[in-house]
Structure 1
């Protein structure tokens, strides 16, 4: 996201710093296709399994996520992978995708059926429907990926996939990395280029940027900066975590007009937070994604993981907002819709 639109975090109070127990974890020639607003798909996974939320809780999510009409790919295409290598992509019909952020863009381009293999924890429709499910991590082997029979590997992390991509290219497998920690419009354009939909990707990215700009405008006009904590069920060796400074949600919270607790603490990615740290942080809003709520085991599981959340202003007010994973936790085509929904919700809060 545009760094000029992200508000600077305040200095971390000493009392909060002492209470934090942190554990870091870590194209051409195609007719233009106008971006259009597509209704957000019906909630699946966590929403379907947990049903209604507790009385004071609410779901916050964008009603529209941009999409473009499906179209023929312009291939071969030479694209620049984020690990610094120019890759000629000849065939994107069987994509091995490194994450839901990549898959969501492919879906929005109307090419979801081309997702051939997806992570085991995928929550996107195309990811769940992929013919193959695979565990993608630092130890993923070349042989395992090649055995899937895909035509293109699209990794989403320089940290996890650089070595794998290099080895795949060495044996003739097209491999492109689009790193997860970059602005959503950039990611949309890069994914589109990698599958031969460059022109459509520009239109889609522009639509996402428009939503981000609108969210930033709402935040700028707001008279307050609510304290927000995004809690996750994963990230620190399986322990509950909070979103830090360089996480997608940390940046989105700031753009939407909130002060992200993890950013204030100066932590990176997703990190653990002690029960004392939760109280000292004094969040006014608690954010959790649909999938993480499922992993927590619903409301009771969330309170069990972080029992002192109930002692915070957000906990006492029952102000827990549940958002779609792809509108909060990942930088992707849904980031604009998520930022807009969150900005509106934060702006509507009564003064503290």
Structure 2
């Protein structure tokens, strides 16, 4: 573990976030072209963006109000040249190891924004029949039907939707759900939440018999990532410590992004250090402590637009993560807010997001 995460207190020894998450009180906390805007007054400065919307349905807040010094980083993408032609039936092996034959993709039940945004980038938005009521992606929000899935609600409501294909995005969360669909006679597949972003995109394409279009999509994203890596190298940002925080992690709680999340993979792929991954966190995790966050002392703080909005602005961010304000990034105001599709979930816009993030840090 990096010394950045060590607790400097002499009586505690060198204990990082991983050691502190059990003992510390877990807080109720947890390019295309690039547009970045500095802001005016600290309490209500408006951050505006003139970047074009992504053809994959990318969406960002044009009137996001950020404190002075904080940056709104938005990358732009264009997937208009990708038009998937699904070839069914197709037999695939999903991340749970199940062999599934998909015969009908006309009414897809999408379990996550990453699934929905990938289908849209492939030109298959009209195939999305149902999505979570908590969707933040345009494709998910525009689905004809919406559902709620929790431990309390169970899978009955999902099965009652009468879809033709269920696609889950987390093997632990959706593995048993997919099996219940299959037991009921409806094909169901799950993407590996710990796979790379490119693998996730390709898996979704393969599940609907659109392998070739998936290859094109992955190639587009990886080209964007390569450009972002060049920016990091050109500005000597390798090893920069970045923490991604969210208001809607596990169980809808404040969390830190760890392994298996798009933001973490992006940060590490660029050659920088993810505080969450270095601390041994998985997914959007609540298993951290205020003391551990202070000890991690990140160079940069990043969050999605929906997180910032849910916290209600700067005061809400510091209330959720009180010690983060005392870190290098907090004191210097090196805080970046990005569209959800470019940092929070496994969207094809992740490559453009990488360019936006690299450029924002290089100019911060």
TM-score range, shorter chain: 0.7 to 0.9
In the other structure, the counterpart of 2:279 is: 265
Q: Which residue of 1 aligns with 2:194?
A: 181
Whole-angstrom distance in 2 between the partners of 1:152 and 1:41: 22
Offset at residue 119 of structure 1 (A) = 0.9
1:149 deviation in Å? 1.8
Aligned to 1:226: 240
Please report the TM-score for the alignment, with normalisation by the length of structure 2.
0.81
The DSSP-based 3-state class of the residue aligned with 1:181 is coil
Q: Aligned to 2:221, which of 208, 214, 217?
A: 208
* SS of residue in 2 equivalent to 1:153: strand
Q: Is the 8 A contact 1:283 1:313 kept in 2?
A: yes
- Flag structure 2 segments of 5+ consecutive residues without an equivalent: 9-13, 31-52
Contact 2:304 2:344 in 1 (8 A): yes
Contact persistence 1:184–1:208 (CA under 8 A):
no
- Give the Å deviation of 1:41: 4.9
Structure 2 distance, partners of 1:276, 1:158, is: 31
Distance 2:278 2:213 in 1: 38
Q: Residue 43 of structure 1: CA displacement?
A: 3.7
1:73-100 per-residue CA deviation (whole Å, 9 max, x = no partner) reads: 2211222211112211111111100100
Using a 3 Å threshold, how does the CA distance of structure 1 residues 238 and 177 change in structure 2: closer, same or farther?
A: closer
Q: Specify whether residues 80 and 236 from structure 1 end up closer, same or farther in structure 2 by C-alpha distance, changes over 3 A only.
A: closer
Mapped contact 1:279–1:308 kept (Cα < 8 A)? yes
- Where do residues 1-352 of structure 1 align in structure 2 (5 Å cutoff)? 12-15=5-8, 17=15, 20-21=20-21, 38=54, 41=57, 43-44=59-60, 47=61, 51-64=64-77, 66-137=79-150, 141-224=154-237, 225-235=239-249, 237-269=251-283, 270-349=285-364
* 1: CA distance, partners of 2:154 / 2:288: 33
- Give distance in 2, aligned partners of 1:39 and 1:130: 17
Pair 12,340 (structure 1): closer, same or farther in 2 beyond 3 Å:
same
Q: Is the 8 A contact 1:66 1:334 kept in 2?
A: no
Residue 334 of structure 1 and its aligned partner are, at CA, apart by 1.7
| Superimposed CA distance per residue, residues 261-308 of structure 1 (whole angstroms, 9 cap, x where no aligned partner) | 222323322234433333222222111101111221222211221233
Deviation of 1:147 after TM superposition, in Å, equals: 1.2
Gaps of 5+ in 1: 1-7, 27-36
Question: Residues 254, 211 of structure 1: CA spacing in aligned structure 2 closer, same or farther, 3 A cutoff?
Answer: same
Report if the CA contact (8 A) 1:140-1:164 is conserved.
no
Q: SS in structure 2 opposite 1:73?
A: coil
C-alpha spacing 1:9/1:190, structure 2 compared with 1 (3 Å):
farther
The alignment covers a number of residue pairs equal to 329
SS of 1:254's partner is helix
Residues 193 and 325 from structure 1, CA distance in 2 versus in 1: closer, same or farther, beyond 3 angstroms?
A: same
> TM-score, structure 1 length as denominator?
0.83
User: Structure 1 residues 71, 260: closer, same or farther in 2, change over 3 A?
Assistant: closer
